[in-house]
Amino acid sequence: MSNAPIGVFDSGLGGLTAVRQLRRILPNEDIVYFGDTGRVPYGTRSNSTIKRYAMQDAKFLLKHNVKMIIAACGTVSSVASNLKNDLPVHYTGVVSPTCFAAAKATKKKKIGVIGTSATINSHSYRDLIHGFDSEIEVVEQDCPLFVPLVESGFIDKDDPITRLTIERYLEPVMKAEVDTIILGCTHYPIIKKAISQVVGDSVRLIDSGKETAIYAAKILKQNNLLCADKERKGKNEFYVSDTPDGFENVASVFLGENVSYTVEQINIELY
């Protein structure tokens, strides 16, 4: 058993949706979160830059003696999948757990994948889904405006700007008559209700943060690394690379509750 914390990182604060799920599934575990708010978004960066950023983020978390690292970022998980080979602790991104869940969920063998431009251009979700079942049709669509919409607070399902943006991006996905859509960025669950309203109840939305949290819990259990004290409540530490001003307001949206945490700004370029 291990009381060491779980490390989670993302290009911004979207990865807090994964933290929300981890706290629900593993309430005894300590979590150290790093959001690279000074360099967000990763989705428009070159592959080499994304890989360098991801390694720096992971090195920062290793300084906190974490027992596992989760890249709660679809872009990193897609572009820097080799990161696990360079780390001394257990690691997972969001792609593999999410693809597995989607392949199990689809009845029509038609899956839509939405994500950042870097994620979609890597075809990571498509390729892994085909690894599970080559007969599944995968329709990919990048949605570059979703992250800034969420970061700017346009998250209400009835907001006309949000709805029109979703309708515009998801038109080709819906024309393909998919029955399952992967939310391939941890920001996207924040507008899940708005997306569901556009695509309809018959389309199942797969939350990458939720599926990754379930997978992380499984790995920790298999390796006897779960917290030994089942009565304790896990602690959370939050770090960002830009000013922490306004963190509480944004974090409240992503975590689904009012928060009042101390957040520390660090220089990620030192790692």
Domain-wise residue ranges, the chain: 6-93+210-270, 96-208
CA distances from 30 to 1, 16, 58, 235 (A): 13, 14, 17, 5
Q: For the segment 44-83, what is each residue's pLDDT rounded down to a tens digit?
A: 899 999 999 999 999 999 999 999 999 999 889 989 988 9
Q: Which CATH architecture has domain 96-208?
A: 3-Layer(aba) Sandwich (3.40)
143 is catalytic: no
Could you say which of 73, 99, 143, 227 is catalytic?
73
Q: Across the chain, what does the average pLDDT equal?
A: 93
Considering the candidates 99, 143, 185, 227, report the single residue annotated as catalytic.
185
Q: What is the pLDDT of residue 164?
A: 97
How far is it, in rounded angstroms, from Cα 101 to Cα 98? 5
Q: Where are the beta strands (DSSP E) in 39-84?
A: 68-71
Pick the CATH number of 6-93+210-270 from 2.70.98.10, 3.40.30.10, 3.40.50.1860, 3.40.630.30: 3.40.50.1860
Give the predicted TM-score (pTM) of the model: 0.89
Which of 6, 12, 14, 7 is CA-nearest to residue 254?
A: 14
Residue 185 bears catalytic tag: yes
106-160: pLDDT as tens digits: 999 999 999 989 899 999 999 999 999 999 999 999 999 998 898 788 999 999 9
Of 130-144, 200-214, 238-252, the one with minimum mean pLDDT is 238-252
Question: How far is residue 161's CA from residue 3's CA, in Å, rounded to a whole number?
Answer: 45
| Same fold? 6-93+210-270, 96-208 | yes
